[in-house]
A and B are shown apart, each in its own frame.
Chain A
């Protein structure tokens, strides 16, 4: 055994804690009798241990720090089911239900049944170079789009797809083909951002083949 091994293995500590096997203990003793460093280390440790015994014997016994215990003995998530928390939460929930039933829903019903003038614009997929029409709405208000599509007997239906200013598809609508060249589309109320919207119209044949007929744009402004 060399000195480094004794240090790395913490043999002095193990010796003081009486953790060494008889063979290891004899081996370490043979080492520290000839190694002044380990001998000093061990002697210091022994004095420390005796000092600890002496000092702690004179001190009053310490009790472990107590962890506060909740009243009622509840623990974990069940502790949330206390009256102090549940009652106010139920009151808030009841308030929401009452408001929705007596305020929000009647307003929505009235809005759905009452006649109203909506903002509108006429867009044509065949027109090129024309200025984009402007639709001005109030927040949450729908609008009308009169989509003009030149009749083409090749198509049994059309698909109108609206893309928002970010380029994402807002909605897609199937329109049965007719002899008319203008299709009124009600765009329902929704939180829409201001900007340029693009309407793309595809013609769909009886066999399901799709062909883009054209696209047009309009400007949405929200008051």
Chain B
């Protein structure tokens, strides 16, 4: 049985509260939710609140009689729920009343509130260092000014005499190199298939 496939079997395991499935689900979508919220919500506490509320509503819907039954719509549904929670946050309305204490509700694992959803491993840091070392000094300065100094990208492109596409291609190539190492490392961290 494929551990990572978002199929109906996965959905059923999720509904039944299988711990490893729930852990994987939360870990996977937590990272996506954090990526989604980082440009919209400043407060890490607010990000965590929205994340928790999103998962709470998702599991409530999953276990309801009219809830989610099609695995292929699972990701879109998580995104939709997160959008609704975010809207409520923006409106500063009264938060969705917390669910009544449900002993059967799956416990949502706590995750670190950072964009990575985890600590940068030494292997990852070494990979990033090698990628940067292979770049020219000019490209390193470019990436520093964009991602570390967070200068306006139009100003940076003008100063370096490049266009936005140069920046995208630079990032794309670095990402492609990084992915081959990153996905391999992630695969090793996931462990074996579920029972």
Contact = CB atoms under 8 A, between A and B. Distances in A.
B78 A10 contact: no
A23 interface: no
- Interface on chain A toward B: helix, strand, loop, or mixed SS? helix
A44 B179 contact: yes
Interface string A40-53: 11111111111111
Contact of B168 (A13, A26, A36, A56): A13
Interface in B103-143: 115-116, 120, 124-125, 127-129, 131-132, 137-138, 140-141, 143
Which of A30, A41, A43 has the largest count of B CB atoms less than 10 A from its CB? A43
A158 to B, nearest CB: 73
Interface string B133-170: 00001101101101110000100000000001001110
Contacts of B138: 64
Interface in A1-29: 10, 12-19, 25-26, 29
B39 interface: yes
B128 A52 contact: yes
Which interface class (under 10, 10 to 19, 20 to 34, 35 or more) fits B? Answer: 35 or more
B183 A40 contact: yes
Contacts of B39: 18, 25
A44 B178 contact: yes
Contacts of A40: 179, 183
Contacts of B76: 30, 33-34
Interface string B73-102: 111101110010000000000000000000
Interface stretch (B11-19, B30-38, B44-52): B30-38
26 contacts: A10-B168, A12-B175, A13-B168, A15-B35, A17-B153, A17-B168, A18-B39, A26-B83, A30-B76, A30-B79, A33-B32, A33-B79, A34-B76, A42-B32, A44-B178, A48-B131, A49-B171, A51-B124, A51-B178, A52-B144, A52-B174, A53-B148, A54-B128, A64-B137, A64-B138, A64-B141
Interface of A: 10, 12-19, 25-26, 29-30, 32-36, 39-57, 61-62, 64-65
